[in-house]
Structure 1
Amino acid sequence: MATTSMTQQIVPPATIGMLGGGQLGRYALMAASAMGYRTVVLDPDPSAPAGAHANDHLVAAYDDHASLDRLLRECDVVTTEFENPPAAVLERLAATTRVAPRPASVAVAQDRIAEKAFLVDNGFPVGSFAVIADGSDNQSGIASGTGLSSVVAGGAIVKTARLGYDGKGQRSVDSVAGVHAALAELGGVDCVVESRLDLRAELSVIIARTVDARVEWWPVAENRHVGGVLDLTVVPARVDPLLADRAIGLAMAIGDALDYVGVLAVEFFVVAGHDGDDSLLVNELAPRPHNSGHWTLDASVTSQFEQQIRAVCGVGLGDTSMTAPAVAMANLLGDLWLPSGGDGRVREPRWEAIFDDPHATLHLYGKSQPRPGRKMGHVTVTADTPDQAERRVVALREALLAR
């Protein structure tokens, strides 16, 4: 297939390639299929959720030469549903076909050290941190400028630079000695040490950006994490509108600085500022649709997944208006199938509780094996206010365990 230029619009029945076959890829390929595109997914797991919704599922390693050659032959554009595809794979594909997001953008987001450097170099606000690379403290990465001891003075989190997600590859510490113990537990890999913050809220902004810098965004989401895993999202966020506007502005500026193409999620911490007002710090970037944007499937004119397809194909972006005053989303983890105090057998949750609520929608990802902490699905509830939506979605999730 001839190389598709980055500015050319890609329209059906063109073929879209996808690296990764998880639930994010599943919904993106479902949207692509509904729009008339042909799709090919590359994922080594034969039971990957996206595989059932692709025209072809290449069951192979991400660096499998034959599979990559097939993507190059058949696809007009290749995108990714996770931030950790091998960099060499993206570069190889990008040499002869269109890849979005750009490999350079993904490279920033898949390495916490590169991500911190990008944010600091471009003047975006971040919390105090230190970089531990090759077993030595890198003082240049410490925002406070007073050393590792100040970063951990009020407690800190040690995070692996690569491959950490949903709380994996993280350790909480309260001393320099604790940092070094955590490094040993994590295998001596490169890490970032982040000061623990007194959080007022956790927010995320999801934007979509085309190669010619057209941008759309959704209302700011308010998130709650449990054990490092997203537990609940409420939209719109219950924060000062001026703070929400600043978050959107920062997300758009980050997209510009990355020269980003596709859907990008920016996670923020809200902390007390020096003047007493709430202040924003950038936490992490996700170069793909995001868990906190799942609500867009049920309460937005255009979902984040359809928008991903539109953005990487360079066609017009869809309307991101909400279709309800408020919405809340709760993740459904494998623990629901394995209730505590039971005999260890898998039990289906009581789905009737969700189906009985006309304002609730159940999404299951087609994963056959529930495991503690594994994302198996989610439920969304629309309501008149964010508080109402949150209360109802929490109650519904609790009702799934009723026997």
Structure 2
Amino acid sequence: PAAALDTLARSLPVSPAGSAVAIAQDRAREKAHFVQCGVPVAPHAVIETAAQLAAVPADLLPGILKTARMGYDGKGQVRVATPAELAGAWEQLGRVPCVLEKMLPLAHECSVIVARGRDGTVVHLPVQRNLHRDGILAVTEVYEGNLPPAQTSQALAAAKSVADGLNYVGVLCVEFFVLQEGTLVVNEIAPRPHNSGHYSQNACDVSQFELQVRCMTGLPLVQPRLHSPAIMLNLLGDLWFTGDQPVAPTPPAWDAVLALPGCHLHLYGKVEAKRGRKMGHLNITGTTPEAVRTTALQAAALLGIAPF
């Protein structure tokens, strides 16, 4: 909780600050911050009252109604196409403060991990191309040329602006939608190391976790270098179950996966596997993007992950 961070900050250094986390935890405040920083966002409206609901412009539909707080991994979101559906969705969500975002024609999604020190120094990991399934990150691909240079430059500039505007200290993930026309809009931020940056453990000379430690302790921030193309597969608890029948969870065949070249398994030590629960991730590295993709698809087949 942001309030807990504020309390801790009275007696010791806290990174990131409670004020930054509070903005990241509230979609309405988050959107306002993006606008203030001059970065592009999807057309949207804040809905906190019945009057605001009635005043929603027709051109925001179809859209996605999202709770302003406590929404993650696709939770607290309802797609709506008409004013009646919008009203029903707001009732369904308990009439809590929400943000309605216009649905845009998306080509794909991407994200940037930036690290900002107390002196304002900012470094970044390469721009990550992401695939989400059911609102949860499934695959991250990182290699030279994974996005056009213009999109990469726009994403990096926007992420730096967001971090500077927060006077942020620590590792920050900024997530983007890439529209079919090629432009980017900022989706949301995560004030912490992020799933889409996990590949950096095995593909970069400085990982996102080391960057967080350096930010917190005041150590110098060096620009990370990508030494290998990489793909990260998110490992959900679903992989411990086969079919739809209620059966006891069975660990996947890790030995077969680890027999593949360049596969690095990271499990989180969670005692119980549950469907939709993040249990770990698999980083695949190699000499070329094509070789990494071939191995990643083999690993996905062994694990029961749909191809991409």
Does residue 151 of the first structure (1) align with residue 60 of the second (2)? yes
User: Within 5 Å, which residues of 2 pair with 1:84-95?
Assistant: 85=1, 87-95=2-10
Is 1:129 aligned to 2:44, yes or no? yes
Report what 2:278 is aligned to: 375
1:4-403 equivalences under 5 Å are 85=1, 87-137=2-52, 147-152=56-61, 155-236=62-143, 238-273=146-181, 278-324=182-228, 326-401=229-304
**Aligned residues of 1:350 and 1:400 also touching (Cα < 8 A):** yes
Measure the CA separation in 2 of the matches of 1:189 and 1:335. 31
Give 3-state SS (helix, strand or coil) of 1:345's partner.
coil
In structure 2, relative to structure 1, the CA distance for the partners of 1:188 and 1:316 (3 Å cut) is same
Q: Bigger radius of gyration, 1 or 2?
A: 1
Conservation of the 8 A alpha-carbon contact between 1:296 and 1:303: yes
- SS of 1:200's equivalent in the other structure is strand
* Structure 2 residue runs without a partner (length 5+): none
Contact map agreement 2:3 2:18 (CA 8 A) in 1: no
Q: Which amino acid aligns with 2:227?
A: T
Deviation track 1:237-275 (CA, whole Å, cap 9, x = no partner) reads 6221121012111111111111110001100111144xx
**Mapped partners of 2:35, 2:109: distance in 1:** 20
Q: Which moved more, 1:313-322 or 1:103-112?
A: 313-322
Which structure has more RCO (C-alpha within 8 Å, separation ≥ 6)?
Answer: 2
Partner SS for 1:321: coil
Percent identity, aligned pairs only, is 42
Aligned residues: 304
Query: Is this contact kept in 1: 2:37–2:161, CA < 8 A?
Result: no
What 5-or-longer segments of structure 1 have no aligned partner? 1-84, 140-145
Local SS of the residue matching 1:305: helix
CA distance in 1, matches of 2:129, 2:86: 30
CA distance in 2, matches of 1:400, 1:97: 44
- For the structure 1 residues 136 and 96, does the alpha-carbon distance in structure 2 shift closer, same or farther, using more than 3 Å as the test? farther
TM superposition score normalised by structure 1 = 0.72
User: What SS does structure 1 have at the residue aligned with 2:269?
Assistant: coil
Per-residue CA deviation, residues 99-119 of structure 1 (Å, 9 max, x unaligned), is: 111111111111000001111
Determine the C-alpha separation between the residues in 2 that align with 1:335 and 1:136. 42
* Structure 2 CA distance for aligned equivalents of residues 177 and 320 of structure 1: 49
